[in-house]
Amino acid sequence: MPQRHLARAFPSAPKGRTPDTIRDVATTEPVIALTFDDGPHQTLTSQILDILDARQIKASFFVVGNRVAQAPDIVARIAQDGHEIGNHSWSHPRLGVMQDHDILDQIDRTAHAVAAVTGHSPVLMRPPYGDFNARRSQMLRAARDLPTILWSVDPQDWRRPGGMAIAEHMIAHARPGAVILAHDTVSQTLRNLPLALDTLLAQGYRFVTVSALIGWPEWTDRRNARGHAFG
Ligand SMILES: [Zn+2]
């Protein structure tokens, strides 16, 4: 299908083997990946989608598997709107203290839940609380070809510091190649999100999915492109 899906998101997108763990990408181009964890949320996720849609911005949503079945229509819309869906485990446990087979069970159940709704499995994983380590990232990459996606900008919106503090943190810490962490389960995050996005857009930043940031095809094309089916 369309060439644009496989075209690099920006000329200096990383080439070569993708690292097992990614916090950001080295580039001088003004590209940012905005990410939302812990959804889908019954009301807030749709409001975020409206905010993004109004600005033609693509983001990445790391969903919790056991919430996918509760709001399949919202998950479907995330994909239909052209955003990325990543894997944020099945029940949001601390993966860093779990056995490998239990980690993979968390990941596989969520992958199947997302695939059941969208027809595609996530190609990226974000560990709840960032609780993972190099060995586990290597294990997950080898077993499921999923890189571990962390972040480089953290407004700590889950602490609910106020909508303006969240927006100001995003604006102050954004830089080329950054991965911004936010949560689509926190109402404060939405409050001044339009301001943060409009400010960064005015500064010349472009928002891309995490897959695009790391130089991959969009998540809905990656498995097909590599002829690799999730097992
Ligand atoms: Zn989380």
pLDDT for 15 equals 83
pLDDT at 8: 64
Q: What is the dihedral of CA 193, 197, 202, 206, to 10 degrees?
A: 170
d(CA 85, CA 149): 12
The pLDDT tens digits for 21-70 are: 999 999 999 999 999 999 999 999 999 999 999 999 999 999 999 999 99
Element (H, E) at 36: strand 31-37
Give me ligand 1 centre to Cα 64, in Å.
Answer: 8
Chain-wide mean pLDDT for the chain?
Answer: 93
* pTM of the shown model: 0.93
Q: Give residue 7's pLDDT.
A: 55
How many Å lie between the centroid of ligand 1 and the Cα of residue 30? 27
pLDDT value at position 133? 96
The pLDDT of residue 14: 85
Specify whether 5 is catalytic.
Answer: no
What's at 180, amino acid-wise? I
Residue 220 Cα to ligand 1 middle (Å):
22
Report residues near ion ligand 1: CB below 5 Å: 37-38, 128
Regions of the chain short of the pLDDT cut 50: 1-5, 225-231
Q: What per-residue confidence (pLDDT) applies to 222?
A: 80
Asked if CATH classification 3.20.20.370 holds for the domain at 20-226, the reply, yes or no, is yes
State the Cα–Cα distance between residues 220 and 208, nearest whole angstrom. 14
- Asked about 24 being catalytic, the answer comes back as no
Indicate which residue of 37, 38, 157, 184 is catalytic. 37
